[in-house]
């Protein structure tokens, strides 16, 4: 007799229902879900991401690379992807690409417009964000920003190559 299973229970589509703050570092994330792991075994890496990281809140720091796009909110509604902030992390997965994209909602942007408009390339930032998408060789890791603050660090950054398809 065959074991029973549900064809609709796909481990690659799992989403954590509740957001929880997790204490993990960027280097730990890279060990679990970095580009090398994605290329080596995408299915396993996606399952690790779903179980440990997806929809959870992290506190990391990196360097502001650039703002890629501004999307207007229609009819005063909150757009989750009003602003896309490209971030270089330390250590970085690439010398020419950003490591992750922080999506800033319309509400978060409007609450601190001067801050976001005043960011300069290379500025150090601390951020609290929800992990929403695992990156791969074509897309950056995707997070929804909850809070972004400038810190005292600075790093000279080379020009960042941005593929439109890499953005959420």
Domain enclosing residue 81, as ranges: 26-166
Flag whether 6 is in a domain.
no
Cα→Cα distances 74→71, 79, 114, 124, 146, Å: 9, 8, 21, 32, 21
For residue 5, what pLDDT is reported?
Answer: 39
Within 13 Å, how many C-alpha atoms sit on residue 71's CB side? 18
Which of 6-10, 72-76, 80-84, 113-117 shows the highest mean pLDDT?
113-117
Q: Is residue 37 part of a domain?
A: yes
- From the list 116, 95, 94, 96, the residue with the least C-alpha distance to 162 is 96
Task: Calculate the CA 103 to chain-centre distance.
Answer: 8
In a domain, 16, yes or no: no
What CATH number is attached to the domain comprising 94?
2.40.50.140
pLDDT of 26-53, one tens digit each? 999 999 999 999 999 999 999 999 999 9
Nearest in space to 39 (alpha carbons), one of 134, 138, 137, 132: 137
Number of domains in the chain: 1
pLDDT reported for residue 106: 87
- Is 72 part of a structural domain of the chain? yes
Asked if residue 79 is part of any domain, the answer here is yes
Any domain includes 8: no
Q: Is residue 15 part of a domain?
A: no
The residue among 13 and 66 whose pLDDT is bigger is 66
12 inside domain:
no
């Amino acid at each position: 007799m065959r074991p029973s299973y549900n064809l609709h229970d796909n481990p690659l589509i799992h989403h954590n229902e509740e957001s929880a703050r997790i204490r993990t570092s960027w280097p730990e994330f890279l060990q679990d879900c970095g580009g090398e792991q994605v290329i080596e075994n995408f299915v396993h890496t996606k399952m690790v991401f779903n179980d440990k990281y997806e929809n959870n809140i992290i506190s990391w720091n990196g360097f502001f690379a650039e703002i890629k796009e501004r999307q207007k909110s229609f009819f005063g509604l909150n757009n989750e992807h009003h602003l896309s902030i490209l971030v270089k992390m330390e250590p970085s997965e690439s010398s020419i690409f950003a490591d992750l994209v922080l999506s800033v909602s319309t509400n978060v942007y409007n609450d601190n417009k001067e801050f976001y408009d005043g960011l300069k390339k290379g500025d150090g930032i601390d951020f609290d964000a929800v992990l929403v998408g695992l990156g791969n060789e074509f897309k950056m890791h995707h997070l929804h920003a909850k809070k972004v603050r400038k810190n005292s660090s600075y790093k000279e950054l080379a020009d960042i190559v941005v593929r439109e398809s890499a953005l959420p």
